[in-house]
Amino acid sequence: MPFQVTRLDNEPIVIATLADPIDWAHDIKQSTAQVAALAAEFEGQGFRITDLTQATVTFSELMMGLAAVLRSEGGWLSNPQIRPLVVTTQELGREFQKFAAEQEQYGKLQIEVFSTLEEALGYARTQCAE
C-alpha cells in the first residue's frame, strides 16, 4: 500500500504517509477518508500531517493531490477541524505553500510546510498546547 494513516495516541494528530508509487486520485481519496474517520474522535481542533518524504513528488503531482484532498469528503475545506501540515522538500514546499494561499478555488488555504516530520510534530504539539 502506498500510504499509511496513523493517529498518535492521546493526541489530536493524524499522520498520512505517502510513498511511491502514488495514485493521486485514489490514494489521496482513501487516505483522506481514513484521516476523517480518525479525526472524528478529536475533541476540538486537530492536525493532519501529510508526509511526502518517502515519495518522489513534482509540483504538478502535489497540485493534483491538493485538488483530490479538497474534493474528498472530510478534506481540508469540508472539515475545518483538521489543520493541514505538509512535510516535503523545502523548495517544493515553498512553491506549494505560496500557490495554495493564492488560489481562490482552493479557499486560499494556509498550509504550513516542513522539511521533516519531527518539525511538523513539534509545531502541531505546540499549537495543541496553546
- Please report, for the domain that includes residue 55, its CATH number: 3.30.750.24
Q: Which residues contact 119 (CB under 8 A, 6 or more apart)?
A: 87
Is residue 28 classed exposed, middle or buried when 0-12, 13-18 and 19+ CB atoms within 10 A define those classes? Answer: buried
pLDDT in tens, 95-122: 776 666 666 766 667 778 899 999 999 9
Answer yes or no: is pLDDT of 60 > 90: no
Q: Please, what is the end-to-end C-alpha distance for the chain in angstroms?
A: 36
Q: What are the start-end ranges of the E strands in 1-130?
A: 3-7, 13-19, 46-54, 82-87, 112-114
Domain that holds residue 108: 3-129
pLDDT in tens, 1-32: 588 999 998 899 999 998 989 888 788 888 88
Average pLDDT over residues 53-79: 75
pTM beyond 0.75, yes or no: yes
pLDDT in tens, 38-53: 888 888 889 989 898 8
Is 13:121 a contact under the CB 8 Å cutoff?
yes
Please count the structural domains in the chain.
Answer: 1
